[in-house]
Amino acid sequence: MTRAAFEALDQADELARLRDLFSLPPGVIYLDGNSLGALPKATAARVQDLVNRQWGVDLIRSWNTHDWIGAAARIGDKIAPLIGAAPGEVIVADSTSVNLFKLVCGALALRPGRRTILTEPGNFPTDLYILQGIEAWLGDQVQLRTMPRGALADAIDADTAAVVLTHVHYKTAERWPMAEITALAHRHGALAVWDLSHSAGALAIDLNAANADLALGCGYKYLNGGPGAPSFAFVAARWQDQLASPLSGWMGHAEPFVFDDDYRPAPGIRRQLCGTPGMLGLTALEAGIDLFADLDMAAVEAKGLALGEAFIALAEARLGAWGLELASPKAADRRGSHVSLRHPEGYAIMQALIARGVIGDFRAPDILRFGMTPLYLRFTDIWDAFEILRTVLETGEYLQPRFSKRAAVT
Amino acid sequence: MTRAAFEALDQADELARLRDLFSLPPGVIYLDGNSLGALPKATAARVQDLVNRQWGVDLIRSWNTHDWIGAAARIGDKIAPLIGAAPGEVIVADSTSVNLFKLVCGALALRPGRRTILTEPGNFPTDLYILQGIEAWLGDQVQLRTMPRGALADAIDADTAAVVLTHVHYKTAERWPMAEITALAHRHGALAVWDLSHSAGALAIDLNAANADLALGCGYKYLNGGPGAPSFAFVAARWQDQLASPLSGWMGHAEPFVFDDDYRPAPGIRRQLCGTPGMLGLTALEAGIDLFADLDMAAVEAKGLALGEAFIALAEARLGAWGLELASPKAADRRGSHVSLRHPEGYAIMQALIARGVIGDFRAPDILRFGMTPLYLRFTDIWDAFEILRTVLETGEYLQPRFSKRAAVT
């Protein structure tokens, strides 16, 4: 393995042209696009137009003239092909946490008499917390059950209302076999709810091929929608007119501008809307999504996995000597688009890397995450980042007091 | 009454200097700041900095270095003095609809054994819809009861868990006596939940003087936070550590970055956070809120009411002849900062006004609303708008087919 070999991979990369669509700071190798995606160059001008012209000049009229009112569904329709959904099956609204709440409450109501929500321990915290909140509020009607990955399939039974899983694990990048688990849930009469936060925009997800019921995901990771971008929700067409949202806000009403006293849910996916959509967040998200317009998601997935493959190959020979351990599956078909390593001094190592411009992130207690974002990373970035990792570890630079552990915020 | 007299009012207006802080399009008299506040001149640069420098260059590090993580509480603390709250009693999160859901569910849990949520018919639709959603979601434990304004006080009883009202009515601008109703609720052991959407930033609200329990409001009206800006939630200090949120997302966790499997609510107001905060919306909202930093809210309220007074005085003599009726209270102390008129052809009249650059809005079936925003309107704007209203009505211009009724979206 040589840097020249990695340069050759960049030469052959059909997605290489996409890097130029992003604004990336000099001196930085950004391996954290799985946490906050980088800024598309087109975004600033679109947000500026939203602020100065649409809001500033056209004011309230923009709900019609600039179709603010249609933005949530329009952007949803642009996300749909990235996740194997049909037009009208996806909408953008609220946060991932709020959408999970809506969809799981809705799923429970579709499975009366069944009490169990099934998930895995160590799922992304907000998923666990939201499910715990539903359990606390609905009392005896609901019981949250967590089963480790290996035992989860066998735990699906006649009391299971919904199986709620994150497609790609936020720490390990381990991938659930979506079609298989969904089929198993259906065999027992349960619904499958997928959190796509760590896979949408990176993997070639096919919700409808997997026969998934409900899904949701994050706009600010691989979709490059900006910090705290709104989330998206998917409801399979067959469920849309039966699925009630507990968050029955006015934007989900059949005719919000009739100002009726009585809630009547909109037909289709629109009933998953709740409050007035935040147009600044939606505008930035749309600019991020538009970069995917003509992309083949299979090629996007293949590149992300190949970047991870390259990183793992570089690491493998040296991991033992450095006290590091691969925390992600080695097999590409069981992995998402990030690679995690484990080290007791993970926090300090990541701080030392960041000080040298290699930005990944740390997840307590010992995980170093490296995001292999297929749209703007080059194979040579992986090579160069790895050389810096080598320096940090071999010189013991990370042992300097300035990198020592304190509360990590991100 | 002459235009010169209105000019004199502008001369004497101590808030007149604020108009220059807003970007207002030429040829427009904007009387819809009660629906979507105008653009502060400072906002574009602050959003641009957020996008280009904080997101684009500093990337994920900005959660710490630009204190994104503290923005929701910081902006809440800036809203607090505008509504008579103490530091640490207000936080910015989610939408008005979502915050109402959280706070009313929380209030119900604080009043076990009581089943009734009390509100008025004709309350803003999303308030009614969210309460209907809670009723449907929590089943037999909850019953939503609507009582007309005149009969509501007598309907508060030992089964009332929460009285949920909008301080200023979105159609009529009628104002509830907050302290009085809150005291009455407390006398019966109920909590008072106030929706401040149509009063925050316009009236001198004093939640703590009124002994209010919970409140929430809208960021995109008088606070000028931009289309779909995030909402704020107030929880009186005495309730904060007892009030549970059903939307127990990770940002409300005591230590979100420990990535624990078990939810432990943060102390204080922070447990009302749910998902990752949307930084574009928060940044624009903060720019809007910052304009209030040194303002005396009593003076702000007085100006808004005086603008309304002037509009009503102009209208009064002619309303009958034009088939119009005042839909707002005449007495300033019973009115918020907008004035509504009623006309069977209200839709067409508003369209004709908008075509001439006077932007108010229409609320079905027959309400014309005119927002008297105290920060950027002049008394002469009211005079000039009224002259245009006179033209539209006296010439019968609004009867032209191009102004005839179709579905109003905003």
pLDDT tens digits, residue range A319-370?
Answer: 888 899 999 999 999 999 999 999 999 999 999 999 999 999 999 889 999 9
Place of tokens 């691989």: A222
> Rounded to whole angstroms, what are the CA distances from A282 to A50, A92, B22, B49, B249?
10, 8, 23, 18, 21
A46-290 to CATH, choices 3.30.70.940, 3.90.1150.10, 3.30.56.10, 3.40.640.10: 3.40.640.10
Min Cα–Cα distance to chain A from B145, Å: 12
pLDDT in the model for residue B114: 98
CA B166 to chain centre: 9
- Closest in B97, B279, B407 to A274, CB measured: B97
pLDDT of chain B along its 410 residues, tens only?
A: 899 999 999 999 999 999 999 999 999 999 999 999 999 999 999 999 999 999 999 999 999 999 999 999 999 999 999 999 999 999 999 999 999 999 999 999 999 999 999 999 999 999 999 999 999 999 888 999 999 999 999 999 999 999 999 999 999 999 999 999 999 999 999 999 999 999 999 999 999 999 999 999 999 999 999 999 999 999 999 999 999 999 999 999 999 999 999 999 999 999 999 999 999 999 999 999 999 999 999 999 999 999 999 999 999 877 888 899 999 999 999 999 999 999 999 999 999 999 999 999 999 889 999 999 999 999 999 999 999 999 999 999 999 999 986 544 44
Element (H, E) at A371: strand A367-371
Asked if pLDDT for residue A407 goes beyond 50, the answer is no
Contact across the interface for B281 and A284, Cβ inside 8 Å:
no
Nearest CA in chain A to B265: A129
Q: What are phi and psi of A314, to 5 degrees?
A: -65, -40
Residues of A with CB below 8 A from B72's CB? none
Q: Find the radius of gyration of the CA atoms of chain B.
A: 22
Say if A126 is an interface residue toward chain B (CB within 8 Å): yes
Distance CA A175, CA A155 (A): 19
**Displacement of CA A102 from its chain's centroid (Å):** 17
Average pLDDT over residues A376-382: 98
pLDDT digits (tens, 9 = 90+) for A161-182: 999 999 999 999 999 999 999 9
**Alpha-carbon gap, residue B213 to B110, rounded angstroms:** 11
pLDDT score at B409: 46
CB pairs under 8 A between A and B: 296
Q: Does A357 touch chain B (CB under 8 A)?
A: no
**Digit-coded pLDDT (tens) for A30-70:** 999 999 999 999 999 999 999 999 999 999 999 999 999 99
Say what the ipTM of the complex is: 0.97
A chain contacts of residue B361, beta-carbon cutoff 8 Å? 60
pTM of the model: 0.97
A146 or B364: which leads in pLDDT:
A146
Considering the segment(s) B3-40+296-403 as one domain, its CATH architecture is: Alpha-Beta Complex (3.90)
Query: Which of A137, A249, A354 minimises the CB distance to B95?
Result: A249
Whether B254 contacts chain A with CB within 8 A: no
Closest-CA distance, A222 to chain B, in angstroms, reads: 13
Chain B residues whose beta carbon lies within 8 Å of the beta carbon of residue A148: none
How close does chain B come to A403, measured CA to CA in Å? 15
Which residues share a beta bridge with B40?
A: B22
Residues of chain B with CATH 3.40.640.10: 45-290
State residue B364's pLDDT score. 87
Q: What number does CATH give the domain B45-290?
A: 3.40.640.10
| E strands present in B204-270 | 214-217, 231-235
> In 3D, which of B289, B275, B317 has the Cα closest to residue A126?
B275
| Alpha-carbon span B352 to A84, nearest angstrom | 46
pLDDT digits 0-9 by tens, A206-241:
999 999 999 999 999 999 999 999 999 999 999 999
Separation between Cα atoms, residue A196 and residue A84, nearest integer Å: 12
- Judged by DSSP in three states, A43 sits in helix
- What whole-number distance in Å separates Cα of residue B277 and Cα of residue B63? 11
For the cut 70, the answer to whether the pLDDT of residue A307 exceeds it is yes
Burial call A268-287: b when 16+ CB within 10 Å, e when fewer: ebbbbbbbbbbbbbbbbbbb
A 10-49 near B (Cβ less than 8 A): 23, 25, 28, 30, 32, 35-36, 38-39, 43-44, 47-48
A317 pLDDT more than 90:
no
Mean pLDDT of chain A: 96
Per-residue three-class SS string for A88-127: CCEEECCCHHHHHHHHHHHHHHHCCCCCEEEECCCCCHHH
B251 vs A contacts (CB less than 8 Å): 97, 126
Does residue A405 surpass a pLDDT of 80?
Answer: no
B131 neighbors B104 (Cβ within 8 angstroms): yes
Whole-angstrom distance, CA of residue A351 vs CA of residue A88: 44
Using an 8 Å Cβ cutoff, are A162 and A190 in contact? yes
Residue A410 has a pLDDT of 42
Are the beta carbons of A133 and A124 closer than 8 angstroms? no
Neighbours of A133 (CB within 10 A): 26
CATH 3.40.640.10 domain extents, chain A: 46-290
For chain B, give every residue range classified as CATH 3.90.1150.10: 3-40+296-403
In B, minimum Cα distance to A138 occurs at B138
Write out chain B residues lying below 8 Å of A410, CB-based: 60-61, 63-64, 69, 257
Measured between alpha carbons, how far is A143 from A136 in angstroms, rounded to an integer?
9
* Minimum CA–CA partner of B33 in chain A: A60
